[in-house]
Every structure is written in structure tokens, then in C-alpha cells.
Amino acid sequence: MAPLTIDTKIKLASGYEIPQLGFGVYQTPADEAEKVVLEAFKAGYRHVDSAAGYHNEASCGQAIRVSSGLPREQVFFTTKVPYRKISYEGAKAQVDKSLAESGLGYIDLMLLHCPYGGSANRKGAWKALVEAVEAGKVRSIGVSNYGVHHLDELETHIAELEAERGGKGKGGVLSVGQWEVHPWCARKDIVEWSKKRDVAIQAYCPIVRGERWGEPVLVKLAEKYGKTQAQVLIRWSLQKGYIPLPKSVTPSRIAENANVYDFELTEAEVDELETDEHSPVAWDPCVEPLDK
């Protein structure tokens, strides 16, 4: 396998490539987002993870389109359909709204942000994303915070849409799933499901919001490699083959979180860091019932 670099990309089931290291802008105020995204570009990131619910799509779009000077095709932009829009009409309208807000011409990746709304609305929202791909508005599609039972249901919906819409591929291609994933929330069942189906795994909260600083194994590895505990966790995520989405508004930390390519954990260390805990630090819609 080629050594990981900040330019490493992962080929998605859609055929497009996604930069493996992403930059998250959750809770980044709209009036700060442009500035911090530009800091991320300066540090080498080329992948920005936003959402309609973050209220900063416009600022991210401004940074990508205007301020950065980067060609559009060099930046990968993700956004998400919020839970109140999980329906056919809601998701269809959100695609157009996100395009208008960001001004980007197309969206690289659009996710359903959570598995709320009930089965019929989840199917309708997915159908809207499939149509957006067909219309050239969105390139790749996926889901966020889906449990295995939601993912199984989505497979059924894709098969139903293929039958209803006239054949193979007409149900859409699930390219990406996004979850809180780190050594204390490894989600082995979801990871196994995704890997079997070539679904790329985006990991939010990869540094666990700092809530696990001081864990003995983490401290030991940080000291061994002369790295911060955050850098060790981001490296763990990269070596697992995930797409980590660290976030920060502090320029030094933005750069530091990208400086993870001059050391490599051993396979034994990757395994040692991972636990059997299920201790998410963010919301956890994965456990919600199908009728939520």
C-alpha cells in the first residue's frame, strides 16, 4: 500500500475520489467559517464537511469559490439534508437551497443527516438525492448516523426504487456513510456492513472532543512518536481506512491536525488503541427505531 500523504484520496463507489483527510465546520459560526476554511486550505486540506444545519454553507462556498484561488475541482465539498427535511420534497428543495447558498455549481457529496422521519420519508429523501445525481447537481450521495437496521432498510429502498424506476442503478449508489467513530466508539457492526458494500466511512469527532486526553495507551503513543494525542487519534483513523473530519477554529491546531504523515502506528498499536466501549460524545441516532 502506498504511504499515506495529505493528498491521499479514496475512490468512492460513485466513481469519484474523496480526499481522505477532511475539515469539519460543525458549530463554526458563519462569520468565522470563511476564515477558518482558508486556514485549512493553507494547511493542505482539500475537503470541507458542512451541513445545512451548520448554517455556514455560504461562508464555506465563498472560501472555496472566491477567496482560496483554488480551482473548484480541487476542493471536495460535503453538505447534508437536515432532519426536518427528510422527505422527498424536503430533500429535493434542500439540494437546490444548498447549491444556491454555497454557489458552487455542484455538490461533491450530499448526505441525509440522520435516519429520522419514518420509512416512507427516508425512502423519498433518498430518491430525491438519486434524482439530484441524475440532474448533475450532486456527484455522490450517502447517509449519516444510520444504524445497521437503517442501512438494511436503505438497501431495500434502493432495490424498490430500481424496480419502480426502471432498472439497475436507478435506485442510486450509496457511496459514503458518516458516523462518530474513534477508539471508544468503534461501531464494529456498522464498519463491517459498510466494508462489505464498499461504502466509505467518514469519522466525525475523531479526536473525541478532547474528552479522552490522558488515556494511558493514548499518552504512551503520543510520547513514543513525539506527537499530540489529537495527532495520534487522527492517524489511527487514517490507518483504519476512514476519512476523519477534525475540526478547529484555531490556526495552529488546524495545521497540527494535518501534520500526521511523518509517523506510522504499528498494526498492534492500532489494535491496542481500539476498545470495546460504546461511548459516543455526540448524538447517536444510530440506535433510534425505524419508526422514529
Whole-angstrom Cα distance, residue 4 to residue 21?
10
At 290, list the grid cell.
Answer: 425505524
Q: Which of 286, 227, 285 is nearest to 259 (CA)?
A: 227
Q: At what angle do helices 119-134 and 88-102 cross, to 10 degrees?
A: 40
* Cα–Cα distance for residue pair 148/193, rounded to 1 Å: 7
113 is in an annotated binding site: yes
Q: Which residues are CB-contacts of 198 (< 8 A; sequence separation ≥ 6)?
A: 13
Closest CA to 233 of 186, 200, 279: 186
How far does CA 180 lie from the centroid of its chain?
A: 9
Catalytic positions, written as ranges: 54
| C-alpha separations of 130 from 44, 90, 145, 165, 235 in Å | 31, 14, 19, 11, 33
Residue-by-residue DSSP string for 118-172: -HHHHHHHHHHHHHHHHTTSEEEEEEES--HHHHHHHHHHHHHHHHHHTSTTTT-
Report the distance separating Cα 2 and Cα 21, nearest Å. Answer: 16
Length of the chain: 292
Q: Which residues are annotated binding-site positions?
A: 113
Q: Which residues are annotated binding-site positions for substrate?
A: 113
